[in-house]
Amino acid sequence: MNFTQSKIHEMKSDALLEMARNFVNDGEIRVYIDDIDRGWTGTKVDIENISALLNACRDLANEDRRLKFRIGLRADAYYLFRTTDASGDKVAGSVIRLDWDNHQILAVMAKRVANYMGDNVDIDELVRQPQLEISRHLYPVLTERFEAVGKWSNKPIHNVLLSFVRRRPRDMITLLKTSAVQARKNKHQKILTPDIQEILPSYSESCISDLVIEFSAELEQVEALLTNMRPTKKEMGKPGLKSVYDKGELLSKIKNIQQSKNFSFTNRDPVTPQSLANFLYKIDFIIARKEGSDGKIDRKYFDQNRMLQSQFVDFGYSWEIHPAYRWALQPYDAKSVLEQIDALMD
């Protein structure tokens, strides 16, 4: 549709009129700002731009309490601003961290399916339930158990799905939508185990593509770094879990990759095995992992603990490539990949 200049002005006028009505009724004006970290490279100029915006909004809001700002900012971008800009402490008290955990993601998916089935379920009530109970709302469209072989045999389907997503609701949506398309191709009435298994490589590739698009502005060669993190023949021949490294093994692997690839950060930070490991942790390609004496695995993401990849302290964590990316790194061995992933338990 082609808009004339007068039509555009008319639309702007309508928006301003609506804003004025809301201000009269509510006594407040709320301004929402998002995507300001698009193209973020972590340079001094980027940090200064973020700082200028945050401080300007803070000053305006202080001058008139009826004016309120909500600004969406990526966790790593805020962390860099907070630790390098002296004004960071002035906005720290206004920060609200948006952090999805797997329990909440499962509840959101159950709510979506329940709504689709015409069942009005309260999301707060869902969140209070155990995961096995929440997952029952998925059963009209999804198999109850993962009917694979080996350690995944007969696992509750919610444990399987939550093990494959990156604590992002949109990842779970992508996984289920793609599985549903495959189920239709296979003429299944609901999503079954074979439907999920068949789409895991393409799902994994889409997760890798998301990272490349999101972070190539910071590290132009990010795709080369990620794809070269695949297990080597030597690593595949060793017993135990693949794609899991202690700190020394991780740095050694990255150092070997550097010998054949040239990497450079856009902000001109030094490129070392440690700085590349920090980058992989920051983008959640690798996550911290520690197995307790009871067999339970403690996992930490960058936004939960930024200090685990410290250059000076070893906190005793191993590092694993997130399961969401492993099929893209080992497309020739999808069954083996599944056997090398530990299921998240309730």
Q: Look at residue 312 in the predicted model and tell me its pLDDT.
A: 41
Comparing 9-13, 73-77, 195-199, 210-214, the range with the smallest average pLDDT is 9-13
Q: To which residue do tokens 């299921």 refer?
A: 343
| DSSP bridge partners of 19 | none
Name which of 142, 220, 209, 217 is nearest 177 in CA terms: 142
The pair of three-digit structure tokens given for residue 53, joined into one six-digit string: 């915006």
Q: Look at residue 3 in the predicted model and tell me its pLDDT.
A: 45
In this prediction, residues 140-164 reach a mean pLDDT of 89
The pair of three-digit structure tokens given for residue 27, joined into one six-digit string: 């006594």
The pair of three-digit structure tokens given for residue 191, joined into one six-digit string: 């999503």
Contacts (Cβ under 8 Å, ≥6 apart) of 267: 41, 42, 43, 44, 46, 218
Higher pLDDT residue, 240 or 123? 123
Q: Are the beta carbons of 271 and 263 closer than 8 angstroms? A: yes
Q: Are the beta carbons of 145 and 156 closer than 8 angstroms? A: yes
Higher pLDDT residue, 114 or 15? 114
Percent of the chain at pLDDT > 70 equals 91
91 C-beta neighbours (distance < 10 Å), count: 18
The b-or-e profile of 319-330 (16+ CB within 10 A means b, else e) is bbbbbbbbbbbb
Rounded mean pLDDT of the chain?
85
Q: To which residue do tokens 């996984």 refer?
A: 175
- Amino acid letter, residue 249: E
Comparing 33-47, 198-212, 263-277, the range with the smallest average pLDDT is 33-47
Q: Is the pLDDT of residue 264 over 80?
A: yes
Higher pLDDT residue, 219 or 91? 219
Q: Are the beta carbons of 143 and 157 closer than 8 angstroms? A: yes
Q: Look at residue 12 in the predicted model and tell me its pLDDT.
A: 60
Q: Are the beta carbons of 319 and 247 closer than 8 angstroms? A: yes
In this prediction, residues 317-323 reach a mean pLDDT of 91
Q: Look at residue 148 in the predicted model and tell me its pLDDT.
A: 81
Distance in angstroms (rounded) separating the CA atoms of residues 265 and 239 = 35
- Alpha-helical (H) ranges within 192-246 are 193-215, 222-227, 233-236
Q: Read off the pLDDT band of 326 (50, 70, 90).
A: very high
Q: Are the beta carbons of 345 and 167 closer than 8 angstroms? A: no
Most confident of 5-14, 59-68, 300-309: 59-68
Q: Look at residue 240 in the predicted model and tell me its pLDDT.
A: 63
- Amino acid letter, residue 252: S
Q: Look at residue 87 in the predicted model and tell me its pLDDT.
A: 78
Name which of 277, 302, 287, 314 is nearest 80 in CA terms: 302
State the DSSP string of 1-22.
-PPPHHHHHHHHHHHHHHHHHH
pTM of the predicted structure, to 2 decimals: 0.80
The pair of three-digit structure tokens given for residue 46, joined into one six-digit string: 């980027």
Most confident of 161-165, 177-181, 290-294: 177-181
Torsion of CA 152, 231, 288, 166, to 10 degrees: -60
In this prediction, residues 19-46 reach a mean pLDDT of 81
Half-sphere exposure of residue 145: CA atoms within 13 angstroms, side-chain side = 8
